[in-house]
Structure 1
């Protein structure tokens, strides 16, 4: 890209969008935008931000980008915190901000499918369903109400509501290709738009998958299947005080998922430090080189009643099935846990009423517990909230004022997610947790571990690398920690399901057949590599041709 080409492209984009939706790279213009901020400490040169409002404008933008060889990088709402936020993988990409494409359409209340654009957030869909008698669950994540449904699904995000795999819920994709042409599946092109929204695989090669963790087009509409709200939703919480029982707990989690298929769809396991990060401010005065010593962790855990390992899940079922599921959970989890409790909205309301009758600190503690449980329950009910988002602020960042949504990138938080896949086997989980607990403290990072079942065979573990983003040395250590974890995980067989913008190149091994094929497919649809260069798919090398 040269300055003349960029100026020519900006002139044409201004003609297409108008001056107000073409934002040049000046401090004044970028001042109101969080694009460019990043929790991982990455900084990119971004020449401009474009704000299209429909697919026709996107098609025109991409045609101009091809003409002048200007790279563009689409983002949905830009809230990809911990993975790069709204930053491109490479420098000198114009950011295509799709947040104004925020329409919800084609909702079928009988069959439970709905079509969303990139700017539709978890909170917006919840509001839409509430206003349209949609008795369905939003596929929520812990990232909160302001995050894009479409963006999360394309990154293969997941949750603990009944459709845990969010890309699995995608039934239809419509995209603008790098040359400005429109992609739809063969079923839709043949006139089968209705059945195309109901059947994921269509007919012929499954091309929709190229748009997931890829850079083959700008997805402008996505149809997703929603899980119907069940008769009852009951959360269950369990814990074990003895870390040595982890190897027995892990296969029990697998047994629960297999015994209660359809009723219990996902379970989270959290270590003591991860639980403490949700319950108490980080005690800087107790840390040594930024890390809490084991004796301090033990003292804090005892003070707050936190066990070595805690677990949470939900029962989605009719009243009769829920009663049977509770009996099964007691039978399976009882021998390997010290505590198992069941909580629903009624019990949370009872706790809140009781808190009003208690004095001082006891009332405050019970009210806080009720608020935390309520937040977790609302997520299980498919209602997004910010209860999990506070984690990003544990080591750095300034919490926003009342009524203002949390935004870790805007608020100065330092957060990098390490998210590897781990087999649901006791020995493997022990090897994995030992790896995390050995490496993280070497870089001043507290080992906060969550293991979430993505099936009855595999966990995805999310380890937040929390650091002071205003400290260059702490930022460098956190990024070095990620690299060390990646390399150790590669040796041990624990590799991420999702990558941040600084780690995209790690999947392109020398001589890799996967990388070669992906690059050849990319070159076929985007020979100038103007769309999201470097995003999961690398530029084709001459030696590969």
Structure 2
């Protein structure tokens, strides 16, 4: 697109949104990103309602200027608020932050893009909403809607967040409003209670797609259970992992109603939560195996740690604990159950201990308390400290963490791995082989997203101030993807620099997705390049 078209469009957007609704001088600030990529952003648009979103898109069509919507822009590790392609105007939807249609009896609620995990928690607390927020480790400032559209997940009872979406409304690229057929027929209430609607399921096009700007979403909330009990387990010997993996699958199959997700973390991932990065011990940015072992021993960290939660009435929770002991006991070295009462007891005990030991016990209690908050559906930023392990400056206590703003270097590699012992071993060997070649420490988490499949999150941490380290981290991602493609471990989600992965080959998927995009958005003005193969075409004034 040429600059005159962009300037003409911006002039019209100022008329629609007002001077305060169009950011030009500070547009570059939106380009801060933990992955080290920075796009050219001509302007940022900040509409206050869906009508303004529709008018913005109509102007974009008229001038053929590409726009890229973000909910809050806190998509850390995947590109933050940056568009896939250069020169897109950012459509910042954070001012659309209404919460409405809360049905406390049915447990459904409607949110706009700017509604964060923290805002939803506050709303439920103020309106006697005895439900859990679908939290993630990204923290209180991140969008509920944005995470669901990216198919994010957590460890609260509704693990798959897009599965909780019962209906959505979106502004199509021509400015018209999309609603599902049940709502169009007058059944808005039942539409919010039943995910699949009537006729073809089109809502899925808006998940990891660029077919419209989603302006509201109705989600089902998990009711707060009578009890939430965390359980922690570990194995000291890495060789026992193959025996543990099928047991994890057996736990989910046996206790699927009360235990919905389990995390497994390797020793390096646990170290990143418990100690600053020992730069003086690293070789080319990577901790040698003997240093990892030494640090793990000094902090009492086993080869693999596991965590999950029981969501159930008291009598069911007691039975679940017995089942967990029966299944996990033979294949683990340690299994403990923790609730808030036990954490409070640990804090009281810490006050009676010598200073050094008290600090350690209190730190452990604080970590456990943060984990329990997440399990109770209360967001916090405890997990965000990971992003600061290699670079970035932690904000002052009480201030929200923002890894993009604070200089952190982080790229997420998030492949799917079958819950089978031999597959997990092949996967771990792949990560441990490739990451050190690029100066990246192999921090591995495996999270069950059902009883068949893990999603593994591997944070590629690097010093963002170092251009060479940034380049190596991006090369590491590409090497992991290519190796994973051969081994069968492909990501469930892509960062803005990896979207080209879907733009290779002439598959039926690629052709259909591109044909649908061309039909809905013939000028390709909405989020060009985002997930849809072949969706990037020259603007008319470039031909």
- Please give the alpha-carbon distance, in whole angstroms, between the structure 2 residues aligned to 1:427 and 1:4: 58
Equivalence for 1:515: 510
Equivalence for 1:363: 358
SS in 2 for 1:484: helix
Residues 516 and 540 of structure 1 are in contact (CA less than 8 Å); yes or no, is this contact kept in structure 2? no
SS in 2 for 1:511: coil
RMSD: 0.9
Residues 524 and 535 of structure 2 are in contact (CA less than 8 Å); yes or no, is this contact kept in structure 1? no
Equivalence for 1:304: 299
Are residues 402 and 540 of structure 1, via their aligned partners in 2, closer, same or farther at CA, if it must alter by over 3 Å?
A: closer
Residues 243 and 421 of structure 2 are in contact (CA less than 8 Å); yes or no, is this contact kept in structure 1? yes
Residues 524 and 536 of structure 2 are in contact (CA less than 8 Å); yes or no, is this contact kept in structure 1? no
- Please give the alpha-carbon distance, in whole angstroms, between the structure 1 residues aligned to 2:505 and 2:219: 37
* C-alpha distance after superposition, 1:317-351 (max 9, x if no partner): 00000001001001100111000000000000001
1:155 to 150, 158, 165: 150
SS in 2 for 1:352: helix
Answer yes or no: is 1:475 the counterpart of 2:473: no
| 1:540 positional shift | 5.3
TM-score (norm 1): 0.98
2:436 to 411, 436, 441: 441
1:402 to 397, 401, 409: 397
Answer yes or no: is 1:183 the counterpart of 2:178: yes
Answer yes or no: is 1:46 the counterpart of 2:46: no
Number of residue equivalences: 537
| 1:512 positional shift | 1.4
Residues 528 and 535 of structure 2 are in contact (CA less than 8 Å); yes or no, is this contact kept in structure 1? no
1:76 to 59, 68, 71: 71
Equivalence for 1:339: 334
Equivalence for 1:426: 421
Answer yes or no: is 1:124 the counterpart of 2:119: yes
* C-alpha distance after superposition, 1:463-517 (max 9, x if no partner): 0000000000000000000000000000000000000000001022211111111
Equivalence for 1:3: 3
Residues 171 and 201 of structure 1 are in contact (CA less than 8 Å); yes or no, is this contact kept in structure 2? yes
- Please give the alpha-carbon distance, in whole angstroms, between the structure 1 residues aligned to 2:249 and 2:97: 39
Are residues 540 and 404 of structure 1, via their aligned partners in 2, closer, same or farther at CA, if it must alter by over 3 Å?
A: closer
* C-alpha distance after superposition, 1:517-539 (max 9, x if no partner): 10000000000000000000033
* C-alpha distance after superposition, 1:263-289 (max 9, x if no partner): 000000000000000000000000000
Q: Which moved more, 1:416-425 or 1:531-540?
A: 531-540
Question: 5 Å matches for 1:16-165?
Answer: 16-24=16-24, 26=25, 29-30=26-27, 33=29, 35-165=30-160
- Structure 1 stretches lacking a partner, 5+ long: none
Are residues 541 and 38 of structure 1, via their aligned partners in 2, closer, same or farther at CA, if it must alter by over 3 Å?
A: closer
* C-alpha distance after superposition, 1:22-58 (max 9, x if no partner): 111x3xx347x5x110000111010000000100000
- Please give the alpha-carbon distance, in whole angstroms, between the structure 1 residues aligned to 2:501 and 2:100: 38
- Structure 2 stretches lacking a partner, 5+ long: 538-543
Q: Which moved more, 1:506-515 or 1:491-500?
A: 506-515
Equivalence for 1:222: 217
List structure 1 runs of 4+ shifted beyond 6 angstroms: none
2:272 to 272, 277, 286: 277
Are residues 358 and 310 of structure 1, via their aligned partners in 2, closer, same or farther at CA, if it must alter by over 3 Å?
A: same
| 1:541 positional shift | 8.8
Residues 77 and 119 of structure 1 are in contact (CA less than 8 Å); yes or no, is this contact kept in structure 2? yes
Residues 274 and 449 of structure 1 are in contact (CA less than 8 Å); yes or no, is this contact kept in structure 2? yes
- Please give the alpha-carbon distance, in whole angstroms, between the structure 2 residues aligned to 1:541 and 1:473: 29
- Please give the alpha-carbon distance, in whole angstroms, between the structure 2 residues aligned to 1:415 and 1:540: 27
SS in 2 for 1:168: helix
Residues 72 and 530 of structure 1 are in contact (CA less than 8 Å); yes or no, is this contact kept in structure 2? yes
Residues 375 and 387 of structure 1 are in contact (CA less than 8 Å); yes or no, is this contact kept in structure 2? yes
- Please give the alpha-carbon distance, in whole angstroms, between the structure 2 residues aligned to 1:335 and 1:3: 67
Residues 36 and 44 of structure 1 are in contact (CA less than 8 Å); yes or no, is this contact kept in structure 2? yes
SS in 2 for 1:388: helix
